[in-house]
Structure formats: C-alpha cells, structure tokens
Homo-oligomer: A and B are copies of this chain.
Amino acid sequence: MRQFQCDYIAGCHPNVLQALIDTNLEEVPGYGEDRFCTQAGDLIRRACRCDTASVHFFAGGTQANLTVISSILRPHQGVISATSGHVQAHETGAIEATGHKVLTVPAVDGKVLAEDVDALCRSYWDNDEKILLVQPGMLYISFPTETGTIYSLSELQALREVCDRYQLGFYIDGARLAYGLAASPDVALPDIARLADVFYIGGTKCGTLDCEALVIVNPLYQRDFTAMMRLRGALLSKARLGGVQFVALFENGLYEQIGRQAVQDAMAIRAAFLDAGLSMYGSSPTNQQFVIMSDEQLAFMNTKYRSEHCGKTTDGKHIVRFCSAWSTTREALAELLADIAQLKNLGSN
C-alpha cells in the first residue's frame, strides 16, 4: 500500500541520516551545549538574517506550541487562533492544559484575517466588563495552514501590524515551513524572522526524524526559555540530534530543495486530479492536496493508496488528502499520477 495520507510516513532524508551516522559516536555534552547545536544555530540565524535569535530543538510541534504559548502569556491571557488552527483543533487541549484559553477567529481558506484579529481585540479592549473576559495576549498562525494555504507577504505584514497595535506576541507554527516557503512568491525565511516574534522551522514533516527548530527572535521571549522547555518535559538531553539534523538541512540548501521538490510533486498531483475532472477542495499551493471524490473514485484509490479522509462536502462527496513530502519516490509518484488519470473513466458519481 502506497502511503500518501501524510508527510511523516518515513524516517528522515538520506543526507540527514548520513549526518547522524557520521557523528553518532562523537562525545559531546548534553542539553544543547554542543558544537552541533551551535553550528545549527549559526546556520539558522544566518538563513533568517537575524544574529540575535536563539534556536532550540523540540521533539514535536505540539510540544513546541505549548511551551512557547505558556511561556509568553500571563495567566489571564489567551492565544488567538483560527478555528481550524492546530492548537485549537488537533492538540487534545494541550494549550488549555497549561492554563490558557484559545480565542478563535474564523478560518478564511485556512487563514486568519488581520481584520478579524483586530475586531476580537477591539471588542475586548472596548468592553466595560473586560475583567470578565480573557485578554488576547498573542497570535498563533501556521505557515502553511492546516489546509495547505499560505499567507502573502502583505497578509503577514497586516498581522504584524495588528499584533503591534494590541501588544500581541506573534508566533508562527512552521511544521511544514519548507513547503510553504517553496510555494510562496514573496515570503522568504528572513521575512518570517522579521515579522514573527517566535516561529519554528519544521523538521519532522520536512526531512528530519521527530525534530523541530524553534527560533526566538524577540529577546523578551528568550529569557529563561530553556527552563520553560525543561518544565514542560521538552528539553532533550541529546539536543545534539537536533543540531546534527538541522546542520544537514541548512548547510547546503537541502531544506529549500526538499521544499521545492515536494511542492512540484504536489502540483503534479493537483494537475492530475483536475485533468481527470475532479474538483479540489481549497486552493492549497503546497504539499497537502485536498480533492473531492465520489464513493467509487475513493474506493478505486483505496485499493492501492492510503490517503486521509477529511470529512464530506455538503452534497455528500468525500474530501480526501494526498500529501507529497521529502520521502515521495519517483516511482510512487508516477504510479499515483497514472492511477489518478484513470479516475476520469469512473465518473463523478
């Protein structure tokens, strides 16, 4: 069974694995005080064009999210997220478990609109009984979003402005950042680093084993952050593993290359579905493609491919996710494209 349901079906990119092999028996201190972490931090700071950022490695995105959010907010504050945001919809209440409410705004093609954040904040600050309400303390978005869409540079700037207006910390979840940057016509890594206070560069879905690189740009949020990681159980004793893997991703442009290839593959998949007469769900230009299928079409694909079922349309058709990733092989892709072409003959129910 070919697996296209998500982008974490394999271990890590061969170059990353080679780096782990090469350094495996080198003896270094723990908790991030090693040469690999230093080197990865330097490479990431350079790529972000931000000399003063601190870089920290996490074993997963939910852990990064809950640690960052609970370290930024005061007790009476909450984090703003789209209703479809990962922290709101897919983390089993991890943010609330640290004591904070997620304040939701609508998801518009997966994205948060600056005007909605502004309205939510204004309605808080204008309220005479605001002591009964959770104070908006920060903004969470992901780039790309849960539905694969990406923010334009001007959209990100508008979000930054609204954050400045209401003194919100601005945090970007970059679980699939490689794919978002590869698909974007105008947003590059230095833009993310310039506009966000904190963000993470996803590795788990973009070429590493379970590992993400968190970048804290705003010095205010750097203070005691390693202790914050420790108390959430997020401080890795062999943080070296993060260092080694992110050196491999960032020393020769591998991260960009992974992003480009997967986006190219995803565009081929999208085109194939459209050619076969199917409709796509949403406008994702990144590695996650959501297609609308009839029962018959889904049954046909299910014989050879594992995909993710994401619900139904109002007229009862299936919304199905196919993902490309760094691990997508040429053979698997070719086979998939050929089979998609056959859907044309199955009709749309």
A92 touches B134 (CB 8 A): yes
Which of B59, B231, B238 meets A92, CB within 8 Å? B231
A210 within 8 A of B: yes
Contact yes or no, A224 B76, CB < 8 A: yes
Measured between C-beta atoms, what is the minimum distance from A40 to chain B in Å?
A: 15
Complex-state Cα separation, A159 to B233, whole angstroms: 27
Interface of A is mostly: loop
Output the residue of A224, A231, A237 with the most chain B CB within 10 A.
Answer: A231
Q: Using a CB-CB cutoff of 8 Å, which residues 1-58 of chain A contact chain B?
A: 2-3, 5-6, 8-12, 14, 17, 20-21, 23-31
Nearest CB of chain B from residue A189's CB, rounded to whole Å:
23
Q: Using Cβ atoms and an 8 Å threshold, which residues of chain B touch A230?
A: 62, 76, 91-92, 94, 131-132
Which residues from chain B contact A71 at a C-beta distance below 8 Å? 74-75
| Chain B nearest CB, measured from A283 CB (Å) | 24
Interface string of A197-214 (1 = CB under 8 A from B): 000000011000110000
Partner of A227, one of B59, B101, B135: B135
Q: Are B10 and A90 in contact (CB under 8 A)?
A: no
Number of interface residues of A (CB under 8 A): 79
Q: Is the CB of B233 within 8 A of A62?
A: yes
The answer to the question of A289 belonging to the interface, with a C-beta cut-off of 8 Å to chain B, is no
Residues of chain A touching chain B, judged by Cβ–Cβ distance below 8 Å, are 2-3, 5-6, 8-12, 14, 17, 20-21, 23-31, 59-60, 62-67, 70-71, 74-76, 78, 89-94, 96-102, 128-135, 204-205, 209-210, 224, 226-228, 230-238, 240-241, 306, 309, 327
**17 residue pairs A–B, Cβ–Cβ below 8 Å:** A3-B27, A9-B30, A11-B20, A11-B238, A14-B24, A17-B24, A66-B232, A70-B75, A74-B224, A89-B132, A90-B129, A96-B96, A97-B231, A101-B102, A132-B230, A209-B241, A233-B234
